[in-house]
Structure 1
Amino acid sequence: MIVLPGGGYEMHAAHEAEPVADWLASLGVTADVLRYPVPVRHPGPVEAVRAEIAGLRRRGVRRIGVLGFSAGGHLAGYTALAPDARPEERPDLAVLCYPVVSMLTEHHSGSRVNLLGAEATPAQRRQASLEELVTPHAPPFFVWHSSDDQAVPVEHSYRLAGALAAHGVPHELHVFPHGRHGLGLAQDDTSVGAWTGLCARWLAGMGVARDAAEGDGTSG
């Protein structure tokens, strides 16, 4: 798994980096943090992720996933959905945590401006919006969000899940009633913290993690 921390395409949130890779390792999943270039305009960040995936495949890694938070969630989703990617650059699954999805809304404009520029055209914004990129060939997705997220409204995840459902793409969406933006592993939140166990079971079902029955998936 390639871990992509959030940070509005301006910085990398430390609590969404190595602690997440350590949690994945506790599930038997090899994971590395990729600090993609910021603040760099599109397609700089996605090119860095594609290069990482292609390099892993050249080294013989057969199954590769991406896991991202907030803006890193957008980057993970874009990597999985971009129509111009070569097969060796595509991940086999994607985990998106309170992701920025749409560049068509005015929510969380900082990510959009850092990635596309303040003068991005409607067409450019649409081409970078995940809900506009979903096809029946997209890989499986695991997505979670909090319904009262004030920074990146849950509408973003609903837009993506609706597009995935419309195209018959296997996906799992979890929306928690309360939880601020940027919780990461959320180990101190008894409600949102359940996402790690849910994700562990999903990863086990995808055949990339140890069976969730061997642990609760919350260590890390």
Structure 2
Amino acid sequence: MSSIIPLWDQAAPYAAAGHEDEMPHLIPFIQPGSESAVIVCPGGGYGFLADHEGASVAELLNRAGISAFVLKYRVAPHQHPAPKADGQRAIRYVRANAAQYGINPSKIAVLGFSAGGHLTATLGTQYDAGQPDHEDFVERQSSRPDRVILCYPVITMESYGHSGSRINLLGEDATQKQIQAFSAEQQVKADAPEAFIWHTSNDQAVPVENSLRYALALGKHGIPYDLHVFEKGPHGLGLAENDDTVRVWSDLCLTWLKNQGW
């Protein structure tokens, strides 16, 4: 691991008043010889970032021979579009600097937990090809992730959603148009990236219907996905190292990545 990488050279856009000095950043965990990378987005309801869903996940990826970057994206009082802008900028940054890190620019995945899973699903459904004439080389890059990994994700902003995440991201008075735009299952496109998804069926904080809805949306478009639903387990397990049943999710995920050529 080396020092943090600020996502912007100057003040980050869309800052909340009084918080303009907060700089979203990446923490790199570069694995020598790896040509693939995973950007890790911790959860926290868009109110904080959970420590156990960051560095330990990047270190696990390193042990599997994969480079990783932990994304410290902005949360409340910052609202939309700040988190999405941070996520898109992170993908563009890694792609723009792929040669420096020995990474194939077509092997950049995003992995997210809970609200970080919502950000990941947003990045996997709302992306662009970049601005080819932009003076900033980073902004010329595509923001589309090549794969997404969703860990007990918040997906919908409608029923079965997580009200705390919705309020922190969109505010108390979110319009129906905003709610639909950030219900990722409604935004899947025909070229959306393939996905690995896992959840527990008795998750009381973020119901499993979130993952099921996203899988159904992918299937509707013929996009391959690998979905695992475990019978029991509370929300926020992270690597689930103390749960002998659920902890296998990371092995399943690494096998999936290997089969994807990561």
Return the TM-score normalized by structure 2. 0.77
What is the alpha-carbon distance in structure 1 between the residues aligned to residue 62 and residue 160 of structure 2?
Answer: 37
Pairwise CA distance, 1:84: 5.2
Deviates more, 1:88-97 or 1:58-67: 58-67
> Is 2:52 aligned against 1:10?
no
The structure that is helix-richer by fraction is 1
Q: Which runs of 5+ in 2 are unaligned?
A: 1-37, 131-140
What is the alpha-carbon distance in structure 2 between the residues aligned to residue 2 and residue 64 of structure 1?
Answer: 7
Report the residue type matching 1:185 in the other structure. L
> Is 2:256 aligned against 1:205?
no
Return the TM-score normalized by structure 1. 0.92
Q: Which runs of 5+ in 1 are unaligned?
A: 209-220
3-state DSSP class of the match of 1:160?
helix
2:34: which partner in 1? Answer: none
3-state DSSP class of the match of 1:207?
coil
Pairwise CA distance, 1:184: 0.2
- Residue identity over aligned pairs, in percent, reads 49
2:237: which partner in 1? Answer: 183
Deviations 1:112-154 (A, max 9, x none): 0000011001111000011011111001100000000000000
3-state DSSP class of the match of 2:142?
helix
2:181: which partner in 1? Answer: 127
**Alignment CA distance shift 1:85-1:116 (3 Å):** farther
Q: Considering only aligned residues, what root-mean-square deviation do their CA atoms show, in Å?
A: 1.2
Question: What does 1:62-141 align with in structure 2 at a 5 Å threshold?
Answer: 62=105, 63-82=107-126, 86=130, 88-105=142-159, 107-141=161-195
1:36: which partner in 2? Answer: 73
For the 8 Å contact 2:127–2:142, the answer to whether it is kept is no
With a CA cutoff of 8 Å and minimum separation of 6, indicate the structure with the bigger relative contact order. 1
2:87: which partner in 1? Answer: 49
What is the alpha-carbon distance in structure 1 between the residues aligned to residue 108 and residue 72 of structure 2?
Answer: 17
What is the alpha-carbon distance in structure 1 between the residues aligned to residue 75 and residue 161 of structure 2?
Answer: 20
For the 8 Å contact 1:76–1:94, the answer to whether it is kept is yes
2:4: which partner in 1? Answer: none
Structure 1 ranges of 4+ moved more than 3 A: 83-87
Whichever of the two has the greater Rg, that structure is: 2
> Is 2:244 aligned against 1:168?
no
Pairwise CA distance, 1:107: 3.6
What is the alpha-carbon distance in structure 2 between the residues aligned to residue 74 and residue 107 of structure 1?
Answer: 10
Deviations 1:7-33 (A, max 9, x none): 000000000010000011111110011
What is the alpha-carbon distance in structure 2 between the residues aligned to residue 13 and residue 126 of structure 1?
Answer: 26
